[in-house]
């Protein structure tokens, strides 16, 4: 795609204005509400940190917008409403609009099975429609988790992406039975657009969405290494040493699921389209913002007071109707909230992995709409938990809470450990658990734990945050000797991802190798159960008790089966 010379002028102007936060471009009056919004981003408002660009929109126009922090630390370029950032999965609504435009023109129906357009998909895809694929109710396994199980980096090759998706032997669940976020359906949608029109999604969106709306600084980026005039780099913290670049080598395979790069200014033009329907139609807008129902007729619940529609979350926030979505890719994070009844919206696009744009957007919305919102129950709950006084428990009492806890439906495992007289929750990281009054416990600043049962018979762990609750049941903890670990050692093959997992015993640990690369230790959790990097691994045995393989439960991928490969027979002596 040809880059417009005018964008280069903007980039040069920003470069000349760099090295001072005060040089950042501001749109709108900096009134009392704007100054309050500035305070939300205070920790980023400096010349030695990445940060966020903020857009506040009213009646289809920018009410207030500015940048906080730097778009490029090396060259001292400040973030601004004209900085181009990768918005990750916020891109999904543009893919949804593209598909629905084709439906409006009679070229497809979102109730067509995906296999009608992607015939190489397995037979179960006859039960997956585009409506299911674009509402996170398809059951399709997530491409990126599958790639991680293959032990190779995300590829920019669309053929490779389609190969992995189409070789998946089964869905996570019966299509339409539940909500579970996945990116695979969006990649199939982008491929269907190409097969129907002969144009890539990037070309189609430029011609039918970005161009007509005047979004000159927005595009699907097929190559993340391409030069983007006025582009912001993505960053991640590097301990006390500042920041490091956090880049994706290639965005091409995620066209459809993500890969839109846009600005706060341009995104305002897109938000205005929800009112004007300059692109698409009001029928399309209604469809995109109406909650999807599951097979049993209930909404496809995606979070507290939220359900998934078509490329968007819909629901309520503090008593107001809201449409929203977030995005995350490499060093970029983004979130937007649109309140249709108030004709108001907030967007936060950030270039730092730890920025937390969803929380920032909610705080800004609260500043501008506080007189029309109910009290922030989530913030109140979190504050009450954080301020609750800790109590003392005897080590003997805490010892009854030590164990392994499993949620089978989610494929998740938590562990509680006692070190001295202190209890810890182990979930990748180790977090101190503090006893509170009323049988509650606090893990970190925003997680509440409750243990249910009597004495040493504690059988359930309830984990609650402001936006989620999950119940875990106790599993028998596993403590394996080196000899017992050796029973699991061997090679395990999965033809869907075309990869062999090698399990080896090293210094009393069972270690995973992928493509001769050491991936880390497998943590014994319960009988025939291991965890590693967010995945739960359940070992399978035959009737004689011999290990035959294992199943991987890894968030957006369920029941991925690896089969033990018999070792080669020893050579016969002559």
Could you read off the pLDDT of 288-322 as tens digits, one per residue?
999 999 999 999 999 999 999 999 999 999 999 99
Range in 35-44, 246-255, 286-295, 389-398 with the lowest mean pLDDT? 246-255
- What rounded mean pLDDT belongs to the chain? 91
Distance CA 67, CA 78 (A): 7
pLDDT (mean) for 359-368: 98
Report the run of H or E that residue 68 belongs to, with start and end.
strand 61-68
Task: Give the global pTM.
Answer: 0.91
- For residue range 337-348, what is the model confidence (pLDDT) as tens digits? 999 999 999 999
Structure tokens at 528: 């025939």
Q: Tell which wins on pLDDT, 216 or 20.
A: 216
DSSP state of 90: G
Select the more confidently predicted residue: 498 or 457: 498
Give CB contacts under 8 A, 24+ apart, made by 517-523: 517/151, 519/151
Q: How confident is the model at residue 207 (pLDDT cuts 50, 70, 90)?
A: very high
- pLDDT attached to residue 154: 66
Mean pLDDT value across residues 143-150 = 91
Say how far apart CA 133 and CA 110 lie, in whole Å: 9
Mean pLDDT of 73-92: 96
Residue 14 has pLDDT above 50, yes or no: no
Amino acid 1: pLDDT:
35
- Predicted confidence at residue 513, as pLDDT, reads 96
pLDDT for the residue numbered 317: 97
Exposure on the CB side of residue 566, measured as CA atoms within 13 A: 3
Asked if residue 68 has pLDDT above 60, the reply is yes
- Kindly give the residue spans of alpha helices, DSSP state H, lying in 109-249: 130-133, 143-150, 158-167, 184-197, 201-205, 211-213
Alpha-carbon span 413 to 522, nearest angstrom: 13
Per-residue pLDDT at 5 exceeds 50: no
Question: Are the beta carbons of 110 and 130 closer than 8 angstroms?
Answer: yes
Look at residue 21 in the predicted model and tell me its pLDDT. Answer: 42
- The confidence score (pLDDT) of residue 405 equals 94
With a pLDDT cut of 70, the percent of the chain lying above it is 92
Residue 15, pLDDT > 60, answer no
Question: Does pLDDT of 424 surpass 80?
Answer: yes
Q: What would the two tokens of residue 187 be?
A: 């990649």
pLDDT confidence of residue 345: 98
| Residue carrying structure tokens 């509170």 | 436
Q: Helices in 198-228 by DSSP H: which ranges?
A: 201-205, 211-213
The whole-number pLDDT of residue 9 equals 32
pLDDT exceeds 70 at position 282: yes
Residue 444 has pLDDT above 80, yes or no: yes
Handedness of CA 454, 386, 354, 26 (dihedral sign): positive
Per-residue pLDDT, 227: 77
Would the pLDDT of 402 be above 70? yes
The mean-pLDDT minimum among 36-45, 66-75, 176-185, 426-435 falls in 426-435
- Identify the DSSP state of 392: -
Task: Categorize the per-residue pLDDT at 476 as very low, low, confident or very high, splitting at 50, 70 and 90.
Answer: confident
Mean per-residue pLDDT, 181-189:
96
Region 235-261: mean pLDDT is: 84
Residue whose structure tokens are 């990116």: 183
Query: Does residue 17 have a pLDDT over 50?
Result: no
Q: What is the DSSP letter of 18?
A: -
- What pLDDT sits at residue 249? 65
Q: Region 378-398: what's the mean pLDDT?
A: 93
Residue 567 banded pLDDT, cuts 50, 70, 90: low
Question: Which among 333, 331, 361 is positioned nearest to 244, based on CA atoms?
Answer: 331
* 375-390: average pLDDT: 94
Rg (CA), the chain: 25
pLDDT of residue 2 exceeding 70: no
Q: What is the pLDDT, as a whole number, of residue 266?
A: 98
pLDDT of 59 higher than 90: yes
List, in order of start, the domains of the chain with CATH numbers: 88-294 (3.40.710.10), 389-475 (2.40.128.50), 482-565 (2.40.128.50)
Per-residue pLDDT tens over the stretch 515-551 = 889 999 999 999 999 999 889 999 999 999 999 999 9
| pLDDT reported for residue 156 | 63
Please state the rounded mean pLDDT for residues 194-211: 97
Reported as a pLDDT band with limits 50, 70 and 90, residue 478 is confident
Cβ 231 vs Cβ 84: under 8 Å:
yes
Other CB atoms within 10 Å distance of the CB of residue 222: 19
Mean pLDDT value across residues 123-140? 98
């Amino acid at each position: 795609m040809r880059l417009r010379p005018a964008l280069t002028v903007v980039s040069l102007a920003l470069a000349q204005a760099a090295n001072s936060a005060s040089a950042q471009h501001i749109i709108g009056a900096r009134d009392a509400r704007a100054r309050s919004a500035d305070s939300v981003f205070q920790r980023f408002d400096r010349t030695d940190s990445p940060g966020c660009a903020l857009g506040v929109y009213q009646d289809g126009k920018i009410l207030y917008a500015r940048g906080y922090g730097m778009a490029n630390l090396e060259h001292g370029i400040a973030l601004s409403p004209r900085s181009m950032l990768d918005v990750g999965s916020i891109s999904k609504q543009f893919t949804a609009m593209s598909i629905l435009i084709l439906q409006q023109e009679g070229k497809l129906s979102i109730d067509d099975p995906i296999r009608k357009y992607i015939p190489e998909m397995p037979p179960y895809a006859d039960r997956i429609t585009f409506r299911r694929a674009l509402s996170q109710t398809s059951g399709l396994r997530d491409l990126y988790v599958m790639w991680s199980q293959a032990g190779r980096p995300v590829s920019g090759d669309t053929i490779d992406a389609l190969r992995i998706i189409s070789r998946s032997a089964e869905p996570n669940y019966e299509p339409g039975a539940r909500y579970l976020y996945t990116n695979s359906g969006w990649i199939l949608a982008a491929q269907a657009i190409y097969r129907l029109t002969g144009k890539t999604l990037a070309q189609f969106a430029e011609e039918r969405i970005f161009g007509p709306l005047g979004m000159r600084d927005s595009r699907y980026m097929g190559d993340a290494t391409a030069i983007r005039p006025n582009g912001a780099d993505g960053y991640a913290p590097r301990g006390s040493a500042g920041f490091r670049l956090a880049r994706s080598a290639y965005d091409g395979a995620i066209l459809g699921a993500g890969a839109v790069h846009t600005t706060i200014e341009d995104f305002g033009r897109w938000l205005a389209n929800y009112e004007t329907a300059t692109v698409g139609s009001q029928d399309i807008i209604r469809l995109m913002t109406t909650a999807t129902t599951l097979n049993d007729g209930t909404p496809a619940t995606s979070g507290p007071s939220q359900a998934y529609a078509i490329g968007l979350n819909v629901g309520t926030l503090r008593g107001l109707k809201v449409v929203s979505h977030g995005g995350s890719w490499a060093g970029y994070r983004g979130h937007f909230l649109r309140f249709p009844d108030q004709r108001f919206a907030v967007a936060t696009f950030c270039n730092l992995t730890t920025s937390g744009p969803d929380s920032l957007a909610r705080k800004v919305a609260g500043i501008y709409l506080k007189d029309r919102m109910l009290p922030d129950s989530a913030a109140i709950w979190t504050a009450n938990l954080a301020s609750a006084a800790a109590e003392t428990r005897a080590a003997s009492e805490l010892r009854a809470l030590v164990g392994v806890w499993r949620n089978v439906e989610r494929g998740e495992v938590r562990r509680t450990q006692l070190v001295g007289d202190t209890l810890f929750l182990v979930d990748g990281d180790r977090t101190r658990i503090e006893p509170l009054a009323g049988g509650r416990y606090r893990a970190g600043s925003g997680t509440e734990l409750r243990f249910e049962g009597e004495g040493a018979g504690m059988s359930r762990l309830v984990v609650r945050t402001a936006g989620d609750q999950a119940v875990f049941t106790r599993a028998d903890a596993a403590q394996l000797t080196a000899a017992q670990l050796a029973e699991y050692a061997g090679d395990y093959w999965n033809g869907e991802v075309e990869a062999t997992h090698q399990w080896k015993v090293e210094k009393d640990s069972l270690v995973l190798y992928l493509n001769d690369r050491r991936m880390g230790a497998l943590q014994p959790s319960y009988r025939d159960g291991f965890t590693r990097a967010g995945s739960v691994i359940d070992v399978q045995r035959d009737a004689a008790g011999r290990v035959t393989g294992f199943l991987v439960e890894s968030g957006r991928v369920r029941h991925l089966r690896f089969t033990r490969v018999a070792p080669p027979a020893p050579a016969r002596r002559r």
